[in-house]
Amino acid sequence: MAIQTGDKAPAFTLPDQDGKLVSLIDFIGHKVVLYTYPEDNTPTCTVEACNLRDNYAILREKGLVVIGVSPDTIAKHKKFESKHSLPFTLLADPERELLMAYDVYGEKKLYGRTYMGIFRRTFLINEAGIIEHIITTVRSKEHTEQIMKVWGID
């Protein structure tokens, strides 16, 4: 069954780009922007991450915690973070545990080819750990604007 708005966000514990274990429970009491993306250093994923980076101060000012997740390794995340000066947490999920729990790993089609991959999604999780919104059509260049609009933040 697909994860939906109003559901309790699936718990996770994964390493970040520094190898430190990060759990959803660490953020109880905070609003969390959990965004899933296919791969570090690809064009659209980089645009999305850089949009969040460029607006990070605004997001933090509004009390939001930003966490990115992809199936990339800790080392690849560290290079991505360093290359683009990303100020937020990137979780490594090469076993796709979180990605499957959030129902963002599945069959995709591109140019007539079918393959398994990661869906670009953003989960807005409230202070109690409940999913308040799911952005299913992410506009990478305007991602921060989307987040703030959907969550009703000026």
Going by C-alpha positions, the residue among 42, 100, 97, 30 that lies closest to residue 66 is: 30
Q: Max CA-CA distance within the chain?
A: 44
Tell me the C-alpha distance between 35 and 33, whole Å. 6
Angle between helices 74-84 and 43-54 (to 10 degrees): 60
Q: Which residue has the tokens 């729990």?
A: 101
Single-letter amino acid, residue 145: E
CA distances (Å), origin 114, targets 17, 38, 107, 109, 117: 30, 15, 7, 4, 9
- Rounded distance between C-alpha atoms, residue 105 and residue 21, angstroms: 22
Residues assigned a catalytic role: 45
